[in-house]
Amino acid sequence: MNNEEIANAVVNELTIAYMQAGSKIGTANALDVAKSICESLDFKDADEVKAAFRRAKMMQDIPTQRTLAEALANHRAETYAQTSSLPLIENRDPRAAWLPTDMRLRRNNMMTAIRNLSAAISDREYSEYCKVHLTRKEKRGDKEVPVYVNESAALAFDRPKKAMLEDLYRKYWRLLPVAKGYPADAPLNHGLIPPTVPQFRVMLEHEAKVNGYTA
């Protein structure tokens, strides 16, 4: 697991902790705090992040870095067969019905959203999406995994689309039928259930009209 995935896991746990404490933290602040925590605590994977936060929240609703360090040390000192009998606070994300807890599924949702948004913009944009997201099989250990043929082109294409998603989600995602029941104060995320192509087209048409253009 790479450092970005671990940092994303820390951001997610921080967001949940603040929400369960009846507060909230902005995305930028959460990223800054997560960066500091990751630099101090050498998490091996997202499971360690979740375990450390789960233990730390037995002591603090919103764990400090010091509490997380202690919780992580305790987690590593115990084997799974020797887990404490104390009930651990479950990190249940109230967004789970709309936002998968699995980071891979969140990424799948984000990439589906980028694909649908591209198709909603134009056939040409969708064709470009397909072109830059071509993959090939690469052997890593005992497995063959798909990798982009031109990763830099795929990342360059996705970057502005992510910014568009952030703006469109902020304005319209909560209005979608699928968003019914989503916690009012919960932050949005690229990994949410993505809008369909027709839904993106409605968003883009409204944006065009608001900005004085014809759709």
The SS3 call for residue 61 is: coil
Q: Tell me the average pLDDT of the chain.
A: 85
- The number of distinct structural domains making up the chain is 2
**Are the beta carbons of 41 and 69 closer than 8 angstroms?**
yes
Q: Do residues 135 and 70 both lie within one domain?
A: no
Considering 82, 115, 145, which residue would you say is the last residue of a domain? 82
Q: Do residues 43 and 13 both lie within one domain?
A: yes
Q: Do residues 117 and 205 both lie within one domain?
A: yes
The predicted pLDDT at position 90 comes to 54
Considering 82, 117, 134, which residue would you say is the last residue of a domain? 82
Specify if 91 maps to a domain. Answer: no
CA angle 125/126/130 to nearest 5° reads 120
Report pLDDT digits (tens) over 53-68: 988 888 788 888 888 9
Strand partners of residue 135 = 148
Q: Do residues 122 and 40 both lie within one domain?
A: no
pTM: 0.60
List the domain range (segments joined by +) for residue 41.
3-82
Report pLDDT digits (tens) over 129-150: 999 999 998 887 788 888 889 9
Reading the chain (215 residues) residue by residue, the pLDDT tens digits are 578 888 899 999 989 888 888 888 888 888 889 999 998 888 888 888 998 898 888 878 888 888 898 888 877 776 344 444 555 555 577 888 898 888 888 899 999 999 999 999 999 999 999 999 999 988 877 888 888 899 999 999 999 999 999 999 999 999 999 999 999 888 899 999 999 999 999 999 999 887 754 44
Q: Do residues 44 and 137 both lie within one domain?
A: no
Chain CA centroid to CA 67, Å:
24
The predicted pLDDT at position 164 comes to 95
Specify if 121 maps to a domain. Answer: yes
The predicted pLDDT at position 152 comes to 93
The predicted pLDDT at position 185 comes to 84
Considering 48, 82, 116, which residue would you say is the last residue of a domain? 82
CB atoms within 10 A of CB 118: 24
Q: Do residues 66 and 162 both lie within one domain?
A: no
**Beta strand segments in 72-123, E:** none
Q: Do residues 121 and 36 both lie within one domain?
A: no
**Are the beta carbons of 99 and 106 closer than 8 angstroms?**
yes
Specify if 92 maps to a domain. Answer: no
**Are the beta carbons of 43 and 70 closer than 8 angstroms?**
no
Q: Of 164, 130, 123, 122, which Cα lies nearest the Cα of 150? A: 130
